[in-house]
Amino acid sequence: MLTNDQVESFERDGFLVVPDLIGVQDCDALRGRAAEMVADVDETKVSSTFSTTGAQARNDYFLASGSGIGFFWEVEAVNPDKTLNRPKELAANKFGHAMHDLDPTFDHFSRRTGMGELAADLGYGGGLLTQSMYIYKQPGIGGEVTLHNDHAFLWTEPMRTLGFWVALEDATTENGCLWALPGGHKIGQRSRFRRDGKGSTALEEWADPYPTEGLVPLEATTGTVVALHGLLPHRSDQNRSDKSRHAFTLHVMDPAAEWVDDNWLQRPDGLPFRSF
């Protein structure tokens, strides 16, 4: 699927933008399914928000979403009394993290649209799917995602995690596209998010933060897949525009690597990680 130049570019930069990998019909089907799922959420029972800039609800609901499907609201969409200040389909920040194994539409999108072949070309043949997310980046209130790499949250020994970020709508600098640091995957790991034995989680940062100079925008049209090396620093801005920017992310680990048992995301015996 990929040319040698594309593979070399991924190895050099730590990312690769692959336009038009996924058909618009498949993107629309995923958006339609997400709309059904958020319509079914009882917002009086879900009070988790998601933000990478402030204190987060790191609770049992979040931890359970590693092997289920949990919804998280935008901070700016929640009133002080925890009610939502707008319709829930415009209030959701994201949902995750096991739809690829639990929902047929997400399973199809993850396993039957070419991402398996892309993973194999990037050295992840037989890779195990560890995490999926549907990210809204809502118009007006879509929150910033601060500079990080994904391996800090999805740790393997040795460090072998690959991410796919799929544009379900056009993503531009106006509505909060990804930004990445070319070659930044060679800097090494500088943080780790782990859980303790009591069900709490914390982000440990043990070296200088990643440099914020030199990041480039990764604008993407609908159906584009951005492959991200697990160690690549990336971020996205707030979305203050009037355009939404829905995206889907999928993470893959090398089947020869070990999934460590203090990762926040753990699967029960009955729901092991599966391949494409």
Ligand X SMILES: O=C(O)CCC(=O)C(=O)O
Residues at the interface with ligand X (CB under 6 A): 133, 135, 137, 145, 150, 178, 234, 236, 247, 249
* Least Cβ distance, residue 234 to ligand X (angstroms): 5
* Least Cβ distance, residue 258 to ligand X (angstroms): 22
Burial 19-56 (b: 16+ CB within 10 A, else e): eebbeeebbeebbebbeebbeebebeebebbbbeeeeb
CB closer to ligand X, 31 vs 125: 31
* Least Cβ distance, residue 276 to ligand X (angstroms): 20
Strand partners, 128: 253, 275
Cα distance between residue 1 and residue 218, in whole Å: 21
CB closer to ligand X, 34 vs 198: 34
* Least Cβ distance, residue 4 to ligand X (angstroms): 28
What is the torsional sign of CA 148, 150, 156, 158? negative
CB closer to ligand X, 51 vs 236: 236
Residues 6+ apart with CB under 8 A from 162: 119, 122, 124, 127, 227, 228, 229, 230, 251, 252, 253
CB closer to ligand X, 247 vs 253: 247
CB closer to ligand X, 83 vs 212: 212
From the CB of residue 268, how many other CB atoms can be counted at a distance below 10 Å? 8
- The residue with its CB nearest to ligand X is 236
* Least Cβ distance, residue 20 to ligand X (angstroms): 19
* Least Cβ distance, residue 83 to ligand X (angstroms): 26
> How far apart, in Å, are the Cα atoms of 188 and each of 39, 159, 193, 209?
41, 10, 15, 11
Q: Which of 174, 151, 155, 161 is nearest to 236 (CA)?
A: 174
CB closer to ligand X, 229 vs 234: 234
